[in-house]
């Protein structure tokens, strides 16, 4: 068993424990393995251990990696294995076309213009691109995201765009070791999603996603309803940010 396989198993055990502590079924929480700065070899080790969903922040690195992993999958004869790629980095206008063409999810949509471009540039032969609105839940000047007060208006503007499926909300709260403060931010996000489900009742069934929680605050996020947790270093090890 590889080290990555062992770490994946440990993270899954932690997810199961956190879900069980609040009487949630473990399958209600999906693990997104954040593979940014790691190569195709590490991704393939995770694939061999059963992981199928991967998150990437840096676009060109991700595009090269996706191509390399596709080649590796074919060479290794992983018949029928389909991976799901999630873009979780900042989205500028000049990045929307390759994201629309190569990813299954985009978690960091923070304005209507970006959603419109993703919609226009999504190839029609592909399924709708799943998107989350990134919410600046802690009001940090240094962070991207829709202000909580603007979430409903933004959601109304993008929910009907063709070739997109608005699935929910994504947050990266201000870091804190105080679990109650962690839970408060995640609780506010859950309540925002519930407001969207009520206001956009025709789309409520697809508004099912809370992308929130990383290694340091995963348990608090799961306690407050996270459906996707984004975990990187606990799986792949210490990372060095590209220059």
Tell me the average pLDDT of the chain. 95
The CATH architecture one would assign to domain 3-236 is Alpha-Beta Barrel (3.20)
Q: What pLDDT score does 142 carry?
A: 82
Question: Locate tokens 């068993």: which residue?
Answer: 1
- How far, CA to CA in Å, does 3 sit from each of 11, 142, 184, 204, 237? 12, 35, 34, 40, 9
Q: What is the pLDDT of residues 196-237, one digit of tens each?
A: 999 999 999 999 999 999 999 999 999 999 999 999 999 999
The mean per-residue pLDDT over the stretch 11-35 comes to: 97
One-letter-per-residue 3-state SS of the chain: CCHHHHHHHHHHHHHHHHHHHCCCCHHHCEEEEECCCCCHHHHHHHHHCCCCEEEECCHHHHHHHHHHHHHHHHHCCCCCCCCEEEECCCCCHHHHHHHHHHCCEEEEECCHHHHHHHHHHCCCCCCCEEEEEEECCCCCCCCCCECHHHHHHHHHHHCCCCCEEEEEEEECCCCCCCHHHHHHHHHHHHHHHHHHHHHCHHHCCCCCEEECCCCCCHHHHHHCCCCEEEECHHHHCCCCCCC
For the cut 60, the answer to whether the pLDDT of residue 242 exceeds it is no
Burial class (CB in 10 A: 0-12, 13-18, 19+), 201: exposed
22 pLDDT tier (thresholds 50, 70, 90): very high
For the cut 60, the answer to whether the pLDDT of residue 86 exceeds it is yes
Q: Global pTM?
A: 0.96
């Amino acid at each position: 068993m590889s080290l990555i396989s062992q770490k994946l198993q440990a993270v899954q055990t932690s997810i199961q424990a956190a879900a069980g502590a609040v009487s949630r079924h473990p399958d209600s929480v999906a693990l997104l393995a954040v593979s940014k700065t790691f190569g195709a070899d590490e991704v393939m080790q995770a694939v061999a251990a059963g992981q199928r969903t991967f998150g990437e922040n840096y676009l060109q690195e991700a595009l090269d990696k996706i191509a390399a992993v596709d080649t590796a999958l074919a060479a290794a004869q992983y018949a029928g294995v389909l991976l799901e790629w999630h873009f979780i980095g900042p989205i500028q206008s000049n990045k929307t076309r390759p994201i629309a063409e190569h990813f299954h999810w985009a978690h960091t949509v923070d304005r209507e213009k970006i959603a419109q471009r993703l919609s226009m540039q999504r190839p029609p032969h592909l399924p709708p691109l799943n998107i989350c609105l990134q919410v600046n839940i802690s009001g940090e000047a240094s962070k991207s995201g829709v202000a909580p007060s603007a979430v409903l208006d933004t959601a109304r503007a993008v929910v009907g765009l063709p070739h997109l499926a608005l699935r929910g909300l994504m947050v990266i709260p201000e870091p804190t070791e105080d679990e109650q403060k962690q839970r408060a931010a995640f609780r506010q996000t859950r309540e925002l999603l519930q407001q969207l489900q009520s206001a956009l009742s025709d789309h409520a069934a697809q508004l099912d996603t809370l992308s929130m929680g990383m290694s340091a605050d995963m348990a608090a996020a799961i306690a407050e309803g996270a459906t996707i947790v984004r975990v990187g270093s606990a799986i792949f090890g210490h990372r060095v940010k590209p220059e």
